[in-house]
A and B are shown apart, each in its own frame.
Chain A
Amino acid sequence: GAVVSQHPSWVICKSGTSVKIECRSLDFQATTMFWYRQFPKQSLMLMATSNEGSKATYEQGVEKDKFLINHASLTLSTLTVTSAHPEDSSFYICSARDGGRDEQYFGPGTRLTVT
């Protein structure tokens, strides 16, 4: 299957700081990438859909000014959690769609802990 990487794999930061997470498709071009969040023992929750060269589409209840998404190239999307708070602590996972195919491939996730 297609390979998607995420960086960093885990991060601990202090409340009020910003954290940037990168998502890269390594062996294919991804016109669309998706950002999810998953709390312990819960299902994945879609946060936003990121299309290369255009603004992201955010799901209801997700603050676009807090979760900044940039998809500047066909292989890279970034999620910046601004002014992080302890309640933002979660497992953030990106996925990418391989061109004209329907399947999505997930990155390994980033575990964020805000203290």
Chain B
Amino acid sequence: RKEVEQDPGPFNVPEGATVAFNCTYSNSASQSFFWYRQDCRKEPKLLMSVYSSGNEDGRFTAQLNRASQYISLLIRDSKLSDSATYLCVVNPSFRQKLVFGTGTRLLVSP
């Protein structure tokens, strides 16, 4: 079983739609969680950290479910510029190396 699993997609949605991605992780002792965004042929950029209480940043909401070992990312009112690959990232131990999912590709169309 992979340490971090994501549905590769692609998710094709129209502008304005709400879309959600899930990600599961295998190490129940994992300490911290992140969502990164990667555009084609570019480096990953930190989108948001995921906290136990959940957190929201504008149109983006992240949730963590430790019991079921999954994290989610919800994007409301999708924009064309949201088209990218979203990487689920887990840190198994505080301040150690990150483990990346393979990414979920999102395509937002007009």
Contacts and interface: CB of A to CB of B under 8 A. Distances in A.
A105 B47 CA distance: 11
Contact of B42 (A34, A43, A108): A108
B5 to A, nearest CB: 11
Interface in A75-115: 91, 93, 95, 97, 100, 102-109, 111
Nearest to B32: A102
B43 A43 contact: no
B102 interface: yes
- Contact count band on A: 20 to 34
A104 B103 contact: no
Interface string B20-49: 000000000001101000000111111001
Interface stretch (B54-62, B65-73, B74-82, B90-98): B90-98
Contacts of B91: 102
Interface residues of B, number: 20
Contacts of A44: 44, 87, 100
A103 B97 contact: no
Contacts of A111: 41
Given A43-B100, A43-B102, A43-B103, A102 B44 contact: no
Given A43-B102, A43-B103, A106 B97 contact: no
A68 interface: no
A74 interface: no
A46 interface: yes
A1 interface: yes
Interface of A: 1, 32, 34, 42-44, 46, 49, 91, 93, 95, 97, 100, 102-109, 111
22 contacts: A42-B102, A43-B100, A43-B101, A43-B102, A44-B44, A44-B87, A46-B97, A100-B95, A102-B32, A102-B49, A102-B91, A103-B46, A103-B49, A104-B46, A104-B98, A105-B46, A106-B43, A107-B43, A108-B42, A109-B42, A109-B43, A111-B41
